[in-house]
Structure 1
């Protein structure tokens, strides 16, 4: 059975748990990180002291998007294009998601982790502008195809789908992105997304 280490309120853990449920995998998840801490046994698995980490049939693996690629290749190749050009395009957007996470981080920490009287309008404005500019790139892609992976839902939709929920949930200015919203509404129909990504931001 697949073992996942990491607290579910982590974006990167949400990705892996959602993927496991999309693939119909049996798994056990252990809370690690944040208020749960990390013991020596966990740090022996992942010396980066980050989450998530998985163990699958003797393989220990960390880095969330590497985990997604591994799980798709082993258990759900239908979620990852066979064509190498299409796969490379999907990979590009998976890696691009980390830049979006960087753009969103300060406003997330400000609005979710700090009390309202400590919210800095300048930080929120910068985060709103930066993430809106990046979302315009995704809007352009989704004007041409229904999913980030291509013609059907796939592994590349999971990383950015996780961060899109936060973007739509944070109380900050957002430009109208009809194609991104259509894609996001499609994600909301997926049980694994509703159960593991659309949870309270903490």
Structure 2
């Protein structure tokens, strides 16, 4: 059976669990990370030299990097609706996935530990303000995209772009600071809430 190594409180583990359920794949999840089995062991570093979760083990195939894992799982399950085969449609989905992993997630690198995790090491007001500005800027890019599509991130159908960005937007919504009005995102978020796997692994009270 497919094994997923990583604690369920991890945002990146949760996107993999959500993808598995959308794709109809059976899996065994095993808790690794802070508070659980250590990732700082020689055995784990052989699986992922970065000592980070998630990692999947599929028979003798090992893969790390959450968005790469989501792509692999969609292809393994033959779910062309989640990740299209046609090159341009696939590139459109992957474009938004890559943007999530780079621009969107990097925007909250300081402000989320400060306001979401209450980490006392992140206490610079100027950096917090700059982080909020950049995070909201990215959210407005997504807002305009959803205004254009009128439905899902990459177009008329639900894809992996919605999975990875759904988790990120949930984190943005739950972090306490002033948020701009985003009616298209709110409507999209309500559509996500109709999906049982999102309620289990996305909008489940976890940051």
What do the CA deviations read for 1:97-156 (whole angstroms, capped 9, x no partner)? 02211101211111232268x755434322221111111111111112111132110111
2:192 is equivalent to residue 199 of structure 1:
no
2:73 is equivalent to residue 65 of structure 1:
no
What do the CA deviations read for 1:153-194 (whole angstroms, capped 9, x no partner)? 011111111110011111111111111111111111211111
Distance 2:204 2:123 in 1: 22
CA contact (8 A) 2:81 2:157 kept: no
| Structure with greater helix percent | 1
Single out whichever of 30-39 and 173-182 deviates more from structure 2: 30-39
Q: Which one of 86, 89, 94 corresponds to residue 92 of structure 2?
A: 89
Q: Which one of 190, 194, 197 corresponds to residue 195 of structure 2?
A: 190
Aligned to 1:174: 179
Q: Which runs of 5+ in 2 are unaligned?
A: none
SS class of match (2:35): helix
Greater RCO structure (CA 8 Å; 6+ sep): 1
Q: Which one of 38, 43, 46 corresponds to residue 44 of structure 1?
A: 46
CA contact (8 A) 1:111 1:119 kept: no
Q: How many residues align?
A: 202
**Deviation of residue 64 (structure 1)?**
0.6
SS class of match (1:94): helix
Q: How does 1:138-177 map to 2 (within 5 A)?
A: 138-145=142-149, 146-177=151-182
Aligned-residue RMSD, C-alpha: 1.9
Q: Which runs of 5+ in 1 are unaligned?
A: none
